[in-house]
């Protein structure tokens, strides 16, 4: 049974939001109740205790989860996050969204997600490695290149994926690079993986701009969350001629109506851990204001539920491209749509990461390596094709892009379930 914690019972839990959107699309599709029953619940939930010997000799036990929502379209795929606020409900919701994300860009995966309840900033490198390896050992019974392929997510990175791959390989007795994606290039990673989510997000913005007649050269943008996704989205938008006027991270926000130097800010943040250490032309503003500056394009690329009923009416962007998973609550979604804002939903906007993860997995299975140019071109083709399928469906059925994306994704998963049947 899935439980919401007390802070989520007011109706803003990510799982509740995810299920509501799914059922709304299923209603519109007239989806058979039997299929709806199957897709409403995760196929498998593994909850593990992760004991770790700390540097002082003590042993701490961390809670960890790996959830597989669906295997109907192929092996499960999804990241692992290390965060103190990880809950089982959140991981279930993220796994479910991964199913829809993989389906909407038509790659042969089902959805999965993993998480450990920990603040990795409080761990030494040695403690972090031991945590990663023990967690990998605990979930090794359900992961594998043909079963479930983890990837980086919040607070995890290529080094952590290298530890996951090595631990799994030690269990098997031989190297298994395709057990994870998002690895360092030197051990089977793919070129173009690091910036894939941000780049894919920008490709969807480019396609929407074409559809609505927005010229990107000179358009204004704001990015909330200057981590891997947000920083790359900001850089690529800037390269395309956009004026990025506001960015934020956990410490605060920077604003310059003439445009920020995103590359310099990224370099400073990588060196010091905070964008606020940037010494160039920028005004420091409260973190939440990065969402509210008037812009053509807003990219929320932090955590979920950042745009909610309390601040949605203050958001003045023409386009919201959801770089993060679940950044907009259902109430906020309705407010923004009524204000005329066009939302590119997370299951489409941030699917670039899993798409290039798929490329990495294919390269690993075939012992091939693609050039960065090949990766970027194939990513652009797939994101553009998927966006236009969603946009055309939205126009045809007179619905918003989020509903259209879910219609396409759920339809594809439902068809796979029907074709495979129910065993036994």
> Mind listing the domains of the chain with CATH numbers?
44-179 (3.40.50.10860), 189-365+375-424 (3.40.50.720)
How far, in Å, are 24, 120, 231 from residue 352 at the CA level?
25, 25, 15
- Please identify every residue annotated as catalytic: 113
The per-residue pLDDT for 203 is 98
Identify the pLDDT of residue 33. 94
User: Does the reported pTM lie above 0.85?
Assistant: yes
% of the chain residues with pLDDT over 70: 97
| pLDDT score at 95 | 96
- The pLDDT, as a whole number, for residue 219 is 97
Q: Quick one: pLDDT at residue 305?
A: 86
Would you state the pLDDT for residue 9?
34
Residues of the chain with pLDDT under 70: 1-12
User: Which own/partner contact pairs does 173-179 have at CB distance under 8 Å and 24+ positions apart?
Assistant: 176/144, 176/145, 177/364, 178/145, 178/149, 178/361, 178/364, 178/365, 179/143, 179/144, 179/145, 179/149, 179/150
pLDDT recorded at residue 3:
40
How far is residue 204's CA from residue 210's CA, in Å, rounded to a whole number? 10
């Amino acid at each position: 049974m899935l439980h919401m914690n007390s802070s989520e019972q007011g109706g803003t839990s990510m799982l509740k939001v995810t299920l509501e959107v799914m059922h709304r699309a299923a209603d519109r599709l007239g989806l058979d109740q039997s299929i709806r029953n199957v897709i409403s619940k995760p196929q498998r939930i593994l909850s593990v205790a992760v004991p770790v010997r700390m540097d002082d000799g003590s042993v701490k036990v961390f809670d960890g989860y790996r959830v597989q929502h669906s295997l109907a379209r192929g092996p499960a795929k999804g990241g692992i996050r290390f965060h103190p606020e990880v809950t089982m409900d959140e991981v279930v919701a993220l796994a479910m969204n991964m199913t829809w994300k993989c389906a909407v860009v038509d790659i042969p995966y089902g959805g999965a997600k993993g998480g450990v309840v920990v603040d990795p900033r409080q761990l030494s490198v040695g403690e972090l490695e031991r945590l990663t390896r023990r967690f990998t050992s605990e979930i090794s019974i359900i992961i594998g290149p043909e079963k479930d392929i983890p990837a980086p997510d919040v607070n995890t990175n290529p080094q952590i994926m290298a530890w996951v791959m090595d631990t799994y390989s030690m269990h098997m007795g031989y190297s298994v690079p395709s057990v994870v994606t998002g690895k360092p290039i030197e051990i089977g990673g793919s070129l173009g993986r690091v910036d894939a989510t941000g780049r894919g997000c920008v490709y969807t913005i480019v396609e929407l701009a074409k559809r609505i007649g927005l010229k990107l050269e000179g358009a204004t943008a704001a990015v909330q969350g200057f981590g891997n996704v947000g920083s790359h989205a900001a850089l690529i938008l800037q390269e395309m001629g956009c004026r990025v006027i506001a960015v934020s991270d956990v410490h605060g926000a920077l604003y310059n109506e003439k445009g920020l130097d995103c590359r310099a800010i990224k370099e400073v943040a990588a060196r010091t851990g905070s964008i606020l250490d940037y010494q160039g032309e920028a005004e420091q503003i409260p973190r939440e204001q990065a969402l509210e500056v008037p812009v053509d394009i807003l990219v929320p690329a932090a955590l979920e539920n950042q745009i909610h009923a309390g601040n949605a009416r203050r958001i003045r962007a023409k386009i919201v491209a959801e770089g993060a998973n679940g950044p907009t609550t259902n109430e906020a979604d309705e407010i923004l749509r009524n204000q005329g804002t066009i939302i590119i939903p997370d299951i489409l906007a941030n699917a670039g990461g899993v798409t290039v993860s798929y490329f990495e997995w294919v390269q690993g299975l075939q012992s091939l390596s693609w050039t960065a140019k090949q990766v970027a071109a194939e990513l652009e083709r797939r994101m553009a094709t998927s966006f236009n399928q969603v946009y055309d469906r939205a126009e045809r059925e007179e619905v918003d892009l989020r509903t259209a994306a879910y219609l396409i994704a759920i339809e594809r998963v439902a068809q796979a379930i029907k074709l495979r049947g129910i065993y036994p």
